[in-house]
Structure 1
Amino acid sequence: MTAEPSTESSASASSSPAPAIKFEKGKLLQTVQTTQFAWFVGNVLTILGFLLYSLTYLDFFPSFYKPFYFITLIGVLISFGILIFQLIQTNGFRFTLLIKDDNTHYLLLGGFLLFLRPYVWITLIPYFVFSIFHVLAYTSGNLLPIFGLEKSIISKYITSFVSANNAKSIQVASGIELITLIWLLIRMFTFRKRSLSPVLVYLVFTKKRYEVSPFTRNYLKVIKNAIDQFVNDLNQPIIKEGWSHIQKVFAVIDSYKLVNDYTLEKAE
């Protein structure tokens, strides 16, 4: 038999006030005047633009695909541009430091995508993934405290989610970037409009990512091993020789470092 709660305890529980949401106008005004808030707005624009641009592929607002694409990349330029600006503020204008920074690579790529306008959906996915985590982290750390919700279940859930999946999101983005390169190559070989320039830009971007990102290197190593296994299983001398020549070409390309000699990292 289950004991019924006493009337007194029930009344006490029902009369206990729910956690009040307190709005601090002063803190809000201070927050929106910061450079970090502008960075947050840039990420929101990236998310909003990407979602709207995605809808055009489902035949929603199809005639607006150009402005939605534009909004997405403007958000990219704002958010990553502010990160580079802050890096320069902290360390001064040090070219060698800037050119190795991931944010520089993504800012330059975003600028080229906006200038070249290939309108390829998959090229925007990594930016969308990054912006999701940036917006969540900023909301938990900067916006929820304005309403006294820094210790709420929402804040705890967001913090836990970001901490558990942030590194995974970078890994996923690296994989999508390689898939993007393959897709851009397919577009070029099928003579799609505005297909050559994006491939050239993305090849340089991938080369830079290879030099600074262990995720990219690991993915390419897996691909190489898979091709090795496939070629060995075929056991065709001509194919083996062709694959050997291709690997030599990649080795020559790898010997020229654009931004970072990753082999020195192993030595350290």
Structure 2
Amino acid sequence: MATPQHYIWAAGHFLLLTASLRYIVAWITFKSASALWYKASFTGALISYAIVCQKSLGTPQPNLAFVRRALVDENIQYFLLAFFWFTSKPITITLLPYMIFSLFHALTFTRTTIMSRYLPGPPATAGGPPQPHPLAKKLQAWVKANYDTAMRVVAYTELLILVRVVIGAVTFQNSLLAPLIFAHFLRQRYFQSAFTREAVADTTKRIDALVRKPGNPPMLLTVWDKSQMLVQRWAGVALTPNAAPAGAAPAGARR
């Protein structure tokens, strides 16, 4: 049975999904959208991730061991990043990863909690488990079939966010702190997510192929090689990864 905390967790995801869709649709159609929608989106993220973090880590402890455990927890990282975006000037693309996570969580909550209560399935066979409604089965199949693709989209989107905040820092569209914070976050994702490693490897391979095309200035290749070397040195020390999935449902809420 779902707990009040589970409903609050789900409400955060629905708020994030609804508000971010409103903000992004306005941005795509070149209409003005109040920054309140942007703030509401990350408010939803903070609500949901706060519950997940509390469930996974327990009550905060004033000791170094707890801090270390928290800093390598994926949910804490997304929570802290959401807080940073919440307090920063709106950057539309930063909503996309959170939207994708929330879409899958909202669909799962709808299937396991709402549908199971208001849309019961066919009668169970003698001695067999209860059967879900056919619509719930289709929803579950869609989530399973599209989850990996969605996580790849998140990984590539996070690389685009890094490019966006670096350009924004150079052109004074966002703070100089944004690329530093997000680069550290992305470094953590590289060690914790196979999807991020795949996206980084694929992107690096594509850029490398373009840079090494015959006829390109030798200086371009030199700059590219040195840039790779610097990035590898900076990101070479891995922190201990945490196996908990980012944005996962709070303990006791999974089905």
Superposition TM-score tier, normalisation by shorter sequence: 0.7 to 0.9
The answer on 1:101 being equivalent to 2:73 is: yes
**Retained in 1: the 8 A contact 2:190–2:197?**
yes
Q: 1:226 aligns with which of 203, 206, 217?
A: 206
Match of 2:92 among 121, 128, 143: 121
Aligned to 2:11: 41
Residue 66 of structure 1: aligned partner:
35
Report the number of matched residues. Answer: 227
Where does 1:161-240 land on structure 2 (aligned, <5 Å)? Answer: 161-192=142-173, 194-234=174-214, 236-240=217-221
Partners of 2:169 and 2:157 in 1: CA distance: 18
Between Structure 1 and Structure 2, the one with more helix by share is 1
What is the letter of the counterpart of residue 73 of structure 1?
F
Q: Distance in 1 between matches of 2:20 and 2:181?
A: 21
Q: Secondary structure at the match of 1:230?
A: helix
Q: Determine which structure has greater relative contact order: mean sequence separation of CA pairs < 8 Å that are 6+ residues apart, divided by chain length.
A: 2
Superimposed CA distance per residue, residues 186-205 of structure 1 (whole angstroms, 9 cap, x where no aligned partner):
2222222x342222221111
Residues 190, 196 of structure 2: 8 Å contact kept: yes
Distance 1:229 1:246 in 2: 15
Cα offsets for 1:46-91 (capped at 9, x unmatched)? 011101212432355x2x521111110000001111111110249x
Report SS of the residue matched to 1:119: coil
The aligned residue for residue 250 of structure 2 is: none
Note the residue ranges of structure 2 that are not aligned, 5 or more in a row.
122-131, 243-255
Measure, in 1, the Cα distance between the counterparts of 2:39 and 2:241: 35
Asked if 2 retains the 8 angstrom alpha-carbon contact of 1:149 and 1:155, the reply is no
What residue number does 1:243 align with?
224
- SS of 2:90's equivalent in the other structure is coil
User: Could you tell me how far apart the structure 2 residues matched to 1:260 and 1:53 are?
Assistant: 36
* Preserved CA contact (<8 Å) 2:211 2:220: yes
Which whole-Å CA distance do the structure 1 matches of 2:236 and 2:120 have between them?
52
The alignment yields a C-alpha RMSD, in angstroms, of: 2.5
Gaps of 5+ in 1: 1-29, 263-268
Q: Which has the larger radius of gyration?
A: 1
CA distance in 2: counterparts of 1:96 and 1:197, whole angstroms: 22
Superposition TM-score, scaled by structure 2 size = 0.80
What's 2:117 paired with?
A: 146
